[in-house]
Amino acid sequence: MKKILIAPSILSADFANMAEEIKKIELGGADLVHCDVMDGVFVPNITFGIKMVADIRKRTALPLDVHLMIVHPENYVEKFAKAGADYITVHYEACKDNLKEVLQKIKDCNVKCGAVINPDTPVEKIKDEIALCDMVLIMSVFPGFGGQKFIPEVLEKASQIRKIANENGKKVLIEIDGGVNRQTVEQVWNSDIDIAVAGSAVFGAQSYKDEIEFLQGNK
């Protein structure tokens, strides 16, 4: 019985062999494909943009989970929706004054929407937006680079989010991103998390399938 869903983060994939990497995670039993879009402004790293998402869409039927770590995400949500995103998540920290409007804009594109909070952002900051969300993403590292150490204290946010969602009669997927691997995943299984993003744990493994199944709780 699967305990959680796994969304491999292509940030850790071999970009020169992306089609093959997507095929391998698909055959390995991945549940979603996590696409980390970084602009070098909101976070210090630069990754990829709309074309990469569109090209991945051509290669897989798996849901594309597009995580925007960018300033002014409202200017790009329509383009990522057209590129084939199934979920678009935006940071509270990037749109403190207009988060509700940005989430609604994503919904208006017929795409599932989500809010993201950094490790030092309390759930209280997005309390009023949770009822709008299809997904809430909790960062368990500070965003910008892969391979960072998992911050276990953020797991208690999952139960807070679940409580608020239940009070609103809302089903919401709760996702965690950062530092999830064989050493940390048991803590994730024992929390209210539904989906874990895994980057270097999957793409650094000899067998993507074995790693994905282990992290899902299938082994």
For 165-179, how does the pLDDT look when each residue is reduced to its tens digit (9 = 90+)? 999 999 999 999 999
Separation CA 168–CA 83 (nearest Å): 31
Catalytic residue among 36, 39, 134, 192: 36
d(C-alpha 218, C-alpha 18), whole Å:
26
- The CATH class for the domain spanning 5-216 reads alpha beta
Stretch (H or E) spanning 13: none
Secondary structure tally for the chain: helices H, strands E: 8, 8
Partners of 35 in beta bridges: 66
Task: Return phi, psi of residue 61, to 5°.
Answer: -95, -5
pTM, two decimals, is: 0.96
Q: Report the C-alpha gap between 164 and 114 in whole angstroms.
A: 15
- φ/ψ of residue 72, rounded to 5: 50, 55
Catalytic residue among 39, 65, 134, 177: 177
Contact of 152 with 187, CB cutoff 8 Å? yes
Q: Is 192 a catalytic residue?
A: no
What is the predicted pLDDT for the residue at 2?
75
Q: 93 is written with which tokens? A: 């920290």
Residue 36: active-site member: yes
pLDDT, position 147 = 67
